Amino acid sequence: MSKRYRFIIVLLVVAVCFVFLFPTLRWYFMVPKEDQALALGTREQIKEYASRTALVGLQNLIDAARSAEAVPAGLEFLVPKARKLQRDMDLPAPGQWDAAAVLSVFSRREDALEAIESEYRDSVFALKNLQQSAVQLGLDLSGGLSIILQADMDALQEKLGRPLTEEDREDAVNRALEVLNNRIDRFGLTEPVIRRQGTDQIYVEIPGAADPERINSIIMGKGGLAFHLVDTEALAVFNAYYAAHPADTFDAQGNLLDPSIIPADVVIRGVYEKDQYGLDEFVEYTAIKKEIGLDGNHIQSAVVERNDLDGKPEVTFNLDAEGGEIFYQLTSANVNQLLAIVLDDRVKSQATITTAIRDAVRLSGFGAEEAENIALTLRTAALPVELEVINQQSIGASMGEDTIRQGLYALLGGLAAVMVFMLIYYKGAGGNAVIAQILNIYLMGSILSAFNFTLTLPSIAGFILTIGMAVDANVIIFERMKEELRLGKTRKAAVEAGFNKAFWAVMDSNITTFIAALFLSQLGSGPIQGFAVSLAIGVLSSVFTALFVSRLIFDFGTDVLQRKKLSVSWFKGVKA
């Protein structure tokens, strides 16, 4: 390969790595701390912030309009929104887009408020997405929660109606582990550690700022997913009563003050949909049968597909053999009836039974986002056994900051020591190795960011070890160059022979290290896995910089700078 092509490849690699690394650099070094805290908050906190700030912004806009002033600072984004709305409504364009002109385009104050709130909401969610694209910090660096969960075997025995066997206990905990792993993957949490502990316990670590919503829905969920028939007649009676008595239908706990308005085998539940913040928003009430038509534990898989005729999204889920038989009996006896999907006493969806169904169930009538939410609920909602938190510990962020500082000092100290040694011992060639080392660190950070790996203290240890190992290749190549120079070869011949003859020695040592790192990453868990992954990344990047980048730097000095001598040793016996 020519030097020109090698140079182009290096530039492309550096550019691509910068694209991967930029989200991490931007999140940790360009986003203010207060904005980081806001983006890491719960959705309720984000909603409260956006709503409160939007109200203040609207009042500032109204005050500016009354005073015939320009659009207040921080609300300039309303001008392009107003321009678009003015064109869509075919209104005459104002001579100047001041506060009064902008406010006049919005027909209602609520429309202006929504425009302002959506801007704040989108900006916070954009930061939230940026944080998820950056390198994540593990529990030992960022702080977080450590939780031990206890499987409630007594509740499971009561549910099954028979004594539990050892196989039942084993299967329940294993399935709970599988569901929790699936939930964690689907909801995108930051590499939590989840493993079995003892016979009926599960250990979970959640790094970073723990989101209480996710803790509640993922870790502490009781598995209350079920299908219930909707009683349309009882619902009609309830709606008529509720319209006449809106203030005295429910008590403070949400129970009916007059239970006689509906049959004894029916309960009133709220129907909820996701709002623009991803939070459950109450829509209406419905009446469902108390008896569970189908338990969610029978669901094996759920996906979103497109209808072949109209292309609209449909949710398809498959049941096990027992669930298929139960569902067939239920649907065959209730064709054209409404079926409600209920999660934790909240109705998430309702669908009409059009025909008897046994195995594969198709739900239609949703938008794309709603269909994805329903499929996600069906896949991850039901736990085979109830879990209780028996121990919870929190690691403070200040401890994590101290660990990061110490790890960074160790990393920089190790890098500086290696660089100083190479510069002193190998003179000019040592400078070549220093450049390769800096690029090596850059590549490792980029790969971490590209694959959204989690950085832990063992990971930092792996990087520090890689720094020391990375110069092994340079040492082998430089020593080979010395031997070639002792034979009287020119700079160009010594460089070419040094790299060619040292190639397999470098590759052999790094391949064996990479194999060991792969085995550790597959067989290990937690800290061991983090160390192995960082070591594997370091091996790959160090081989590239030592054999590819370092060679390019030597060739640049020979062919472009027209250097005749090779500075690789202090000893007089080595000449070039």
576 vs 574: CA distance, rounded Å: 7
Q: What is the amino acid identity at position 315? A: V
pLDDT above 90 coverage of the chain, percent: 13
Q: What is the mean pLDDT of residues 354-373?
A: 70
Question: pLDDT confidence of 187, banded at 50, 70, 90?
Answer: very low
Do 234 and 284 fall into the same domain? yes
Contact assessment for residue 143 and residue 208, using Cβ atoms and an 8 Å cutoff? yes
Do 100 and 184 fall into the same domain? no
SS3 string, 357-369, reads: CCCEEEECCCCHH
Q: Beta-carbon neighbour count of residue 42 at 10 Å?
A: 16
Say what the pLDDT of residue 396 is.
62
- Strands 266-274 vs 280-289: parallel, antiparallel or unpaired: antiparallel
Say what the pLDDT of residue 215 is.
58
Say what the pLDDT of residue 216 is.
53
Question: Hey, what are 105's tokens?
Answer: 């385009």
CA 84 to each of CA 80, 99, 100: distance values in angstroms, whole numbers, following the listed order: 6, 16, 16
Do the domain assignments include residue 345?
Answer: yes
Contact assessment for residue 45 and residue 37, using Cβ atoms and an 8 Å cutoff? no
Contact assessment for residue 449 and residue 134, using Cβ atoms and an 8 Å cutoff? yes
Contact assessment for residue 526 and residue 563, using Cβ atoms and an 8 Å cutoff? no
Do 415 and 478 fall into the same domain? yes
Do the domain assignments include residue 484?
Answer: yes
Question: Hey, what are 473's tokens?
Answer: 């290749």
Last residue in a domain, options 198, 222, 246:
222
**Residue 268 structural domain:** 225-378
Average the pLDDT over each of 396-400, 450-454, 486-490, 528-532 and give the range with the smallest value. Answer: 396-400
Do the domain assignments include residue 391?
Answer: no
Say what the pLDDT of residue 141 is.
73
Do 217 and 231 fall into the same domain? no
Question: pLDDT confidence of 176, banded at 50, 70, 90?
Answer: confident
CA 353 to each of CA 27, 218, 332, 365: distance values in angstroms, whole numbers, following the listed order: 48, 30, 9, 12
Question: pLDDT confidence of 189, banded at 50, 70, 90?
Answer: very low
Say what the pLDDT of residue 122 is.
92
Q: What is the mean pLDDT of residues 47-59?
A: 91
Per DSSP, which regions of 320-412 are E strands?
A: 338-343, 346-352, 360-363, 387-395
491 vs 223: CA distance, rounded Å: 71
Contact assessment for residue 222 and residue 386, using Cβ atoms and an 8 Å cutoff? yes
Do the domain assignments include residue 26?
Answer: no
Burial 415-435 (b: 16+ CB within 10 A, else e): beebbeebeeebeebbebbbe
Do the domain assignments include residue 567?
Answer: no
Q: What is the mean pLDDT of residues 68-76?
A: 90
Residue 529's CATH number = 1.20.1640.10
Contacts of 481 (CB under 8 A, 6+ apart): 429, 494, 495, 497, 498, 566, 568
For the chain, helix (H) and strand (E) counts, in that order, are 18, 15
Do 238 and 262 fall into the same domain? yes
Higher pLDDT among residues 270 and 403, named by residue: 270
Q: SS3 for 55?
A: helix
| Cα–Cα–Cα angle for 206, 208, 212, rounded to 5 degrees | 65
Q: Beta-carbon neighbour count of residue 537 at 10 Å?
A: 24
Do 15 and 43 fall into the same domain? no
Do 295 and 415 fall into the same domain? no
Question: pLDDT confidence of 212, banded at 50, 70, 90?
Answer: very low
Contact assessment for residue 361 and residue 278, using Cβ atoms and an 8 Å cutoff? no
Q: What is the mean pLDDT of residues 240-263?
A: 86
Average the pLDDT over each of 3-7, 24-28, 67-71, 521-525 and give the range with the smallest value. Answer: 521-525
Higher pLDDT among residues 157 and 115, named by residue: 115
Higher pLDDT among residues 493 and 376, named by residue: 493
Q: Name the residue with tokens 């160059």.
A: 481
pLDDT digits 0-9 by tens, 437-493 = 889 889 988 988 888 777 777 888 888 788 777 788 888 888 888 888 888 888 888
Concatenated DSSP letters of 479-506 = HHHHHHHHTT--HHHHHHHHHHHHHHHH
Question: pLDDT confidence of 19, banded at 50, 70, 90?
Answer: very high
Do 530 and 551 fall into the same domain? yes
Do 404 and 551 fall into the same domain? yes
Q: What share of the chain is helix, strand, coil (3-state, %, to 5)?
A: 60, 15, 25
Do 405 and 545 fall into the same domain? yes
Question: Hey, what are 204's tokens?
Answer: 């979970």
Do 212 and 289 fall into the same domain? no
Task: Please state the length of the chain.
Answer: 576
Q: Among residues 207, 202, 203, 180, which one has the least CA distance to residue 191? A: 207
Last residue in a domain, options 99, 134, 169:
134
Do 297 and 348 fall into the same domain? yes
Question: Hey, what are 139's tokens?
Answer: 């529990």
pLDDT above 70 coverage of the chain, percent: 87
Higher pLDDT among residues 101 and 459, named by residue: 101
Whether residue 343 is predicted with pLDDT greater than 50 in this model: the reply is yes
Residue 186's CATH number = 3.30.70.3400
Do the domain assignments include residue 153?
Answer: yes
Say what the pLDDT of residue 129 is.
87
Q: What is the mean pLDDT of residues 233-243?
A: 91
CA 148 to each of CA 115, 145, 194: distance values in angstroms, whole numbers, following the listed order: 44, 10, 10
Do the domain assignments include residue 573?
Answer: no
71 vs 77: CA distance, rounded Å: 9
341 vs 273: CA distance, rounded Å: 12
Residue 301's CATH number = 3.30.1360
Alpha carbon 111 to chain centroid, angstroms: 33
Strands, sheet with 225-229, edge to edge from the N-terminal-most edge strand: 280-289, 266-274, 346-352, 338-343, 225-229, 294-295
For the chain, what is the mean pLDDT? 81
Contact assessment for residue 286 and residue 347, using Cβ atoms and an 8 Å cutoff? yes
- What's the number of domains the chain is made of? 4
Do the domain assignments include residue 117?
Answer: yes
Last residue in a domain, options 173, 202, 222:
222
332 vs 311: CA distance, rounded Å: 27
